[in-house]
Amino acid sequence: MTTPPEPVEGPDPTPPEPVEEPTPPTTPEPVEGPEPVLEVAGLSVAFGRRPPSVSGISFAIAPGERVGLIGESGSGKSVTALAVMGLLPEYARTSGVVWLAGEQILDRPDAVLARLRGNQVSMVFQEPMTALDPTMKVGRQVAEVIGLHRRRAGSGHVRARVLETLGDVGLADPARIAGSYPHQLSGGQRQRVVIAMALVNTPDLVICDEPTTALDVTVQAKVLGLLDRELAAAGAGCLFISHDLAVVSQLCSRVLVMLDGRIVEDAPLDTILTAPEHPYTKGLVATARIDRVTPGERLPTVADFWDETSPEPTPPEPTSPEPTSPEPVEGS
Ligand SMILES: Nc1ncnc2c1ncn2[C@@H]1O[C@H](COP(=O)(O)OP(=O)(O)OP(=O)(O)O)[C@@H](O)[C@H]1O
Ligand SMILES: [Mg+2]
């Protein structure tokens, strides 16, 4: 007697339902100023029959502009980043448009996306081992990134460039680092290597998904300072994902606030800090101001400002601390 086969885990076999979201424009909206390096219009992403993880979001990033994408766990930040990188799994259903360096990339063939990745857009993930091959020495991995996009460079030139690149990101003894396997480096050293790899081909846009969350606080501050310098040197724009407004405020001039797959606020950093509009943003701002809480006092939580169960939330008046003017951000 045969037993019926076990159900196979995996993508939902039922035919995909269309993602019901605003009809995307076929061309990007005209924007003032220089052409954006990234423009997202009406982007929705859904997996299986679940409600969309990302629902009709739109934003643009100008050349060299740094935009923070902030929101609670599961709000759709990483899915947004993966959509922009063309790295969503095949079973993801998408609608809308994503223009990267003038090309529409949603649902484009892998070859097109591979060309754009590294040249036009690169990514720094939370866990540096995601981007590193554990079986290959670090120097060779950096060389591959350089070689991939600069095929004509001779190998001597590439080696010199690798050592220079590793030195530029503050790694002492670049020759030793180049000859090491990733597991022989510390977390901070690995993230420096990944940042070097992300910026070495001077992309127009670097997407950073919680790049310092896995690092301890001291190393985190150094790596943020490094990112700041490297982005400025490359003139690269940045989409910087974090759940931490304090971290975003060190690098970004504009902030997108994401909640349940939607962008609920898009404003300059100063406005977000001094005059947040959405109750959720108000909560984020208040909770980020731990410097103003006296010892023993309860820290406010976002829930004090945003009741997820209520469709039309009325935020309570913050008791303490009062969200007033932003603290000046120390240069990093
Ligand atoms: N490959 C996938 N298959 C199915 N569902 C997914 C997949 N990737 C993400 N999701 C779902 O999409 C939603 C948004 O996830 P996402 O990873 O974008 O959250 P996030 O904002 O990055 O959260 P965090 O701060 O924890 O990283 C979640 O409900 C998640 O379970
Ligand atoms: Mg994430």
Render pLDDT for 141-197 as a digit per residue (tens, 0 to 9).
999 888 766 555 556 788 888 999 899 888 999 999 999 999 999 998 999 999 989
pLDDT tens, position by position, 200-256: 888 999 999 998 888 888 888 888 998 999 899 989 999 999 988 888 999 999 999
Q: Which of 78, 90, 125, 213 to mutate to test the pocket of ligand 1 (most atoms within 8 A of CB)?
A: 78
pLDDT exceeds cutoff 70 at 27: no
| Residue with the larger pLDDT of the pair 332 and 133 | 133
Q: Which CATH class is domain 38-274?
A: alpha beta
| CA–CA distance, 118 with 306 (Å, rounded to integer) | 39
Q: Rounded to whole angstroms, what are the CA distances from 153 to 90, 114, 149, 204? A: 35, 20, 9, 21
Question: Ligand 1: does its nearest atom lie under 6 Å from the Cβ of 47?
Answer: yes
Supply angle C-alpha 182, 186, 189, rounded to 5: 80
Task: Tokens for 172, please give them.
Answer: 């002492």
Rounded distance from Cα 161 to ligand 2 centre (Å): 32
Question: Ligand 1: does its nearest atom lie under 6 Å from the Cβ of 53?
Answer: yes
pLDDT exceeds cutoff 90 at 128: no
Task: Judge whether 61 and 239 are in contact, CB under 8 Å.
Answer: yes
Rounded distance from Cα 209 to ligand 2 centre (Å): 7
| Residue with the larger pLDDT of the pair 304 and 190 | 190
| CA–CA distance, 206 with 37 (Å, rounded to integer) | 10
Enumerate helices (H) and strands (E) in the chain, giving the number of each.
Answer: 10, 10
pLDDT exceeds cutoff 50 at 1: no
Split at pLDDT 50, 70, 90, the class of 302 is: low
Q: Where in the chain is the domain with CATH 3.40.50.300?
A: 38-274
For 221, the 3-state DSSP assignment is helix
Rounded distance from Cα 47 to ligand 1 centre (Å): 10
Ligand number nearest to the C-alpha of 54: 1
Kindly list the protein residues that place their beta carbon closer than 5 angstroms to ligand 2, a single-atom ion.
Answer: 78
pLDDT exceeds cutoff 60 at 31: no
Q: Rounded to whole angstroms, what are the CA distances from 266 to 4, 6, 61, 65, 278? A: 52, 47, 12, 14, 10
The pLDDT score that the predictor gives to residue 207 is: 96
Q: What are phi and psi of 285, to 5 degrees?
A: -65, -45
> In this structure, which amino acid lies at residue 84?
V
Residue 3's Cβ-count burial label (10 Å; 0-12, 13-18, 19+) is exposed
Question: Ligand 1: does its nearest atom lie under 6 Å from the Cβ of 262?
Answer: no
Task: Judge whether 208 and 156 are in contact, CB under 8 Å.
Answer: no
- Whether the model clears a pTM of 0.85, i.e. scores above it, the answer is no
